[in-house]
Amino acid sequence: MGRVAELAGVTVRTLHHYDEIGLVRPSARTAAGYRAYSAGDVERLREVLAYRRLGFGLREVADLVGDPSTDAVAHLRRLRGLLLERRDRADAMVAAIDRELTARAKGMKMTPEEQLEMLGARLYDAIGGAYIATRRTELRIATQIWDALGDAQTVLNVGAGTGSYEPSDRDVTAVEPSAVMRAQRPTGAAPCVAAAAESLPFKDQSFDAAMAVSTVHHWRDPIAGLREMRRVARRVVVLTFDASEPGWQRRFWLTRDYLPEFVGLFTQWPSLAGMADAIGARAEPVPIPWDCADGLFEAYWRRPGAYLEDHVRRAMSVWTRVGPEAEQRAVRSLSDDLASGRWAERNRDLADLDAAELGLRLLIA
Ligand SMILES: C[S@@+](CC[C@H](N)C(=O)[O-])C[C@H]1O[C@@H](n2cnc3c(N)ncnc32)[C@H](O)[C@@H]1O
């Protein structure tokens, strides 16, 4: 075990842990009767470590290497593809940073108002690199959004990020202020304009519909941004969060029992009714499926262990916004409660639910 740890560049403790959780078990025996790694075990360890270094969590790695339909060559191909994808993204990010550096060197300055509007974008310039590890399209939520778009053919996606919810069968234009997020849009994604919601660079009624998903809470002035969407499009569809209904602070066990600081992030936040009124919208609830594919903050309500994974938290802005002290305390306390069975006891009623109502709302105007 010591020799394999040394060769693989990991600690013996890590190998023990992988053994304990059944991820990589030394299946051979030495002449003296000690447990040892066979060639097959070493191959599996190499795959596990490669997926780990690409940012996958232990549970995901277990699923990947445990898949009986994937042999060693298929794993190597997949790893190669993932690495090339990562290299492309890094290249794109370097190019975006170079463009900004050139603009700055030429003395291009933003007005104070533009700077404030880009505040939310700056957060994503700092944390956006971790986004795509877990943030992707959740088809059930996407279907609800796309249905709400009705027969719109031209669609503006505001705060588009990497484009997770852009419908592929319509003519989409994206708006995204963060260079890091723009750089991570996949090749072939809709064209993307660098701008903020509060001042959209489009004429009145330029689009059949404007959509915004999981972004309004980052805007400097949500009401101004919503009005801009209303101005440039005939239909507006916004996936947002209700932080005004009575008892909203106690809806989700994570913020109720472990991260009360979450509530403080929403003290300046307009009410759902205020946002709906600004654009003449109705609101419909958006349930979060138990196996939600998009790693948004509430996504793992029935899979609490996910919140212990660093790469899962890094793709959720909440953790950066509450700060490292609150984050570490919440994770420690959740980890203790999972180990002691206290979490399971407190949240027994969740085990039978397929979807949860945790305050996500679709505004449709
Ligand atoms: C949680 S991400 C959501 C991205 C995408 N809509 C999705 O669902 O995957 C929030 C996005 O809002 C963007 N954002 C921040 N401030 C903004 C503003 N004032 N106007 C438009 N977008 C903004 C961020 O840069 C980030 O890409």
**What is the per-residue pLDDT for 123?**
74
Q: What residues line ligand 1, using a CB cutoff of 6 Å?
A: 117, 120-121, 124, 135, 158-162, 164-165, 176-178, 181, 196-198, 213-215, 218-220
pLDDT of residue 133 exceeding 90, the answer is: no
Give me ligand 1 centre to Cα 15, in Å: 40
Residue nearest to atom 27 of ligand 1 (CA): 161
Residue 7 has pLDDT above 60, yes or no: yes
- Minimal-distance CA residue to ligand 1 atom 19: 219
Q: Give residue 251's pLDDT.
A: 95
The answer to whether 143 and 237 are in contact (CB under 8 A) is no
Which residue among 123, 181, 215 has the greatest number of ligand 1 atoms within 8 angstroms of its CB, and so is best to mutate?
A: 215
Q: Where in 168-213 does DSSP place strands (E)?
A: 171-175, 192-193, 207-213
- Residue 348 pLDDT: 96
Q: Residue 96 has what pLDDT?
A: 61
Q: How far is the CA of 176 from the centre of ligand 1 (A)?
A: 7
Q: What is the pLDDT of residue 261?
A: 93
Is the pLDDT at 341 greater than 90? The verdict is yes
Higher per-residue confidence, 347 vs 50: 347
Q: What is the mean pLDDT of residues 307-318?
A: 92
Kindly give the distance from the C-alpha atom of residue 282 to the centroid of ligand 1, in angstroms, as a whole number: 22
The model's pLDDT over 200-237, given as tens digits with 9 standing for 90+, comes to: 999 999 999 999 999 999 998 999 999 999 999 999 99
- Residue 92: its pLDDT value, please? 65
Return the pLDDT at 109.
61
pLDDT of residue 108: 64
Give yes or no for residue 158 having a pLDDT over 70.
yes
335 vs 90 pLDDT, higher one? 335
> Mean pLDDT across the chain, nearest whole number?
89
pLDDT band at 72 (very low <50, low <70, confident <90, very high): confident
Ligand 1 midpoint to CA 215 (Å):
4
More confident residue, 71 or 102: 71
In sequence order, which ranges of the chain are alpha helices (DSSP H)? 2-8, 12-20, 39-53, 58-66, 72-105, 112-117, 119-127, 139-148, 179-183, 222-232, 253, 261-264, 272-279, 310-314, 317-322, 324-340, 342-346
* Cβ-based neighbours of 170, under 8 Å, separated by 6 or more: 149, 152, 153, 154, 155
| The pLDDT of residue 324 | 85
How far does residue 54's CA lie from ligand 1's centre (Å)? 24
Please report, rounded to a whole number, the percentage of residues in the chain having pLDDT higher than 70.
92
Q: Which CATH superfamily is domain 131-364 in?
A: Vaccinia Virus protein VP39 (3.40.50.150)
Instruction: State in Å, rounded, how far the first CA of the chain is from the last one.
Output: 62
The answer to whether the 2-57 and 131-364 domains have the same CATH topology is: no
Taking residues 131-156, report their average pLDDT.
95
Model pTM? 0.71
151 C-alpha vs ligand 1 centroid, how far in Å?
25
Angle made by CA atoms 204, 206, 208, in degrees to the nearest 5: 120
Nearest alpha carbon, ligand 1 atom 22: 159
For range 58-63, the mean pLDDT: 87
Query: What is the gyration radius of the CA atoms in the chain, in angstroms?
Result: 23
Q: What value does the mean pLDDT take over residues 342-351?
A: 96
- Asked whether the predicted pLDDT for residue 145 surpasses 80, the reply is yes
Atom 8, ligand 1: residue with shortest CA distance: 213
The confidence score (pLDDT) of residue 94 equals 72
For domain 2-57, give the fold.
Multidrug-efflux Transporter Regulator; Chain: A; Domain 2 (1.10.1660)
pLDDT in tens, 265-305: 888 889 999 999 999 999 999 999 999 999 999 999 999 99
How much of the chain, in percent, has pLDDT values that exceed 90?
63
* Distance (Å) of CA 352 to CA 265, 297, 300, 347, 356: 31, 21, 15, 10, 11
Residues 78-131: pLDDT tens digits?
888 888 777 766 776 676 666 667 767 777 665 555 544 445 567 777 777 788
Pick the atom of ligand 1 nearest to 178's CA: 25
| Rounded average pLDDT over 163-190 | 92
Q: What is the pLDDT of residue 17?
A: 94
**Which of residues 141 and 57 earns the better pLDDT score?**
141
Compute the distance between CA of residue 198 and CA of residue 224 in angstroms, rounded to an integer: 5
Domain spans in the chain, listed from the N-terminal domain onward: 2-57, 72-125, 131-364
Between the CA of 153 and the centroid of ligand 1 the distance, in Å, is 22
